[in-house]
Structure 1
């Protein structure tokens, strides 16, 4: 199965409609079976996950990443959250709040879903974590919480458990250690380029985020459904790393892996 994750940069940048066209074109090219969306929008009776899922006949889910969500005067009433696209029906979805003691305010969250894969329930977690250095304590607490979610014995079964996330940390940064102790970095398992970056300072839309720039901060992590089961990853790739019609789809590149279900 082909699994992808992409921070799609909400409606930022002033050209979100053209960017969404590029995002949709990229999804159509790579045809993922499972796609996690970070910084996806919702509003006007629809959401970005549903819009991207429709052309390929995929199933979709969306949750707010914070409550009540981002309020932008240019986009009133438009939510900010997490999305999931799936080749298989979505059996359940749950909004799981994450720690935020330092930052305070509305609670961030992860989307935990179960998919109706023919071989058994496929459990998927989609998340985005704290990025500001001054809230490093929250960042570490959130990755620990995600590790606990992913290793919940209630998710054990014949299928791997997947975490699709913008974790705002590279494998050599301490915030990622709780997850790397509990799960497999599928990029590494695929033998992919160790120098790859998903937040590239060369992009004109690159954010002011020194801790994350020019690092691989977007990840697909996995664990076997049960101890002793194989976890085979056949390849990994970046997508959305070239402009389409002169437009960069997002300030992040998408990450994809091909793995055994």
Structure 2
């Protein structure tokens, strides 16, 4: 028995720009894509119902999971997830610290029941955004692997979000098993690497919505990076199951009537999830 699972991640860009028009575009895109697991970043609590209207998805915003809002959350928003099947929050991880005080986005870890297969762990993080913050991101991805270890199920974990780091960075190399950090190692499959085509840039000077922040943070022409990801757990952590990446592409990467949905492009990945009937397939 296998189940097809479509995963989408998108940085919503809070309330900047033509927010109402952009939210309507994202909602229309979600209806068209018909995803099963969605990770949102930089979304305000009052935006989530409109984003999910008519999609049949069950949503949880970080604001519903904690009594105290992180600083700047009212301006920059937070993390939210949406799932085809009703989920339950397993843990909320606050990744702020003395070396990352300006990240108002919490990490949500949810258990989602897949039909006939059981629960899958779905993790929705955002890591530090500054170009000089790789040390912070290294600490944060180590915490993400600990979070996975605390709650993972037989089915491969799905993790999706805005990691603010290119594939060659230490944090992403750690997640994909290419290097160790602090004497530790792990392994997730990068869905784009398995099934995507082309560079897969998700934050690009080609998007006018990104131009202002690229000028603020980078100040170099033609800046383009792949920083948004869908990851799936490894057979090493899930020996009795699989999550084969059958497709990966960009989403929300074109304007409609001159309006761009966000300053990021989203990522959509199609997974085939199942349990092995024998020790080896």
Normalised-by-shorter TM-score class: 0.7 to 0.9
Distance change (3 Å), C-alpha of 1:52 and 1:102: same
Give 1:8's aligned residue.
Answer: 12
- Trace 1:6-155 onto structure 2 (pairs within 5 A): 6-13=10-17, 15-42=18-45, 47-64=46-63, 67-70=69-72, 80-104=77-101, 108-118=105-115, 119-150=117-148, 152=149, 154-155=151-152
Moved more, 161-170 or 192-201: 192-201
| Cα RMSD for the two superposed structures | 2.4
Q: Between 29-38 and 133-142, report the one with greater CA deviation.
A: 133-142
From 243, 246, 255, the counterpart of 2:258: 246
- Aligned pair in 2 of structure 1 residues 48, 213: CA closer, same or farther (>3 Å)? farther
Distance in 1 separating the partners of 2:105 and 2:27: 26
Cα distance change, pair 213–69 in 1 and its aligned pair in 2 (3 A): farther
Indicate conservation of the 8 Å contact 1:37/1:49, yes or no. Answer: no
Assess, with a 3 A threshold, how the Cα gap between structure 1 residues 178 and 148 changes in structure 2: closer, same or farther: farther
**Which residue is 2:278 aligned to?**
none
The count of aligned residue pairs is: 248
Q: Distance in 1 between matches of 2:43 and 2:104?
A: 17
Q: 1:213 to 1:28 in 2, by over 3 A?
A: farther
Q: Deviations over 1:196-216 (max 9, x none)?
A: 200111111212243994111
Once residues 215 and 6 of structure 1 are traced to their aligned partners in structure 2, the CA distance between those partners, rounded to angstroms, is: 15
> Take 1:105 and 1:204, find their aligned partners in 2: how far apart are those partners?
25
User: Computing the radius of gyration over CA atoms, which structure comes out larger, 1 or 2?
Assistant: 2
The answer as to whether partners of 1:99 and 1:145 remain within 8 angstroms in 2 is no
TM-score by length of 2: 0.80
Give 1:168's match in structure 2, choosing from 148, 157, 164.
164
Using structure 1 for the length normalisation, give the TM-score.
0.86
- Contact 2:22/2:260, CA 8 A, preserved across alignment: yes
Deviation at 1:124, TM superposition (A): 0.5
Match for residue 221 of structure 1? 231
